Copies of this chain bind each other. A is one copy, B any other.
């Protein structure tokens, strides 16, 4: 159980990084271009978006298609494997919608106790 060879363990897909899941969601509705992805993900630096996309491409979750035009045109699209992530992501999001408030409350309670004591 949980040996080093078992990345599937519990969070098999923290989809690599902080942004991976969001990018997948952004691509759910169809192909998107580099700059289009930067709109919903305003806080992301271009370098980081590149890294994220490369990582997702490496894992076979997305494809990168270059149109030989000027100005350059590149599209990212989910593969079937990438789409297979959506149900699991949905399960996580549903948990969030249902329980995030409770979690936040627990957190305030915990932090509160610590603060009072001091």
Chain A contacts to B: CB under 8 angstroms: 1-2, 4, 7-15, 18, 20-22, 24-25, 40-41, 43, 57-61, 81, 84-85, 87-89, 91-100, 102-103, 105-107, 109-111
Contact = CB atoms under 8 A, between A and B. Distances in A.
Among A4, A8, A84, A105: residue with most chain B CB under 10 A: A8
Chain A at the B interface: SS class: helix
Given A81-B99, A92-B92, A111-B58, A11 B2 contact: no
A8 B102 contact: no
B21 A60 contact: no
Contacts of A58: 106-107, 110-111
A56 B84 CA distance: 29
A21 B4 contact: no
A87 B95 contact: yes
A22 B8 contact: no
Nearest to A103: B59
Contacts of A102: 60, 81
A114 B14 CA distance: 24
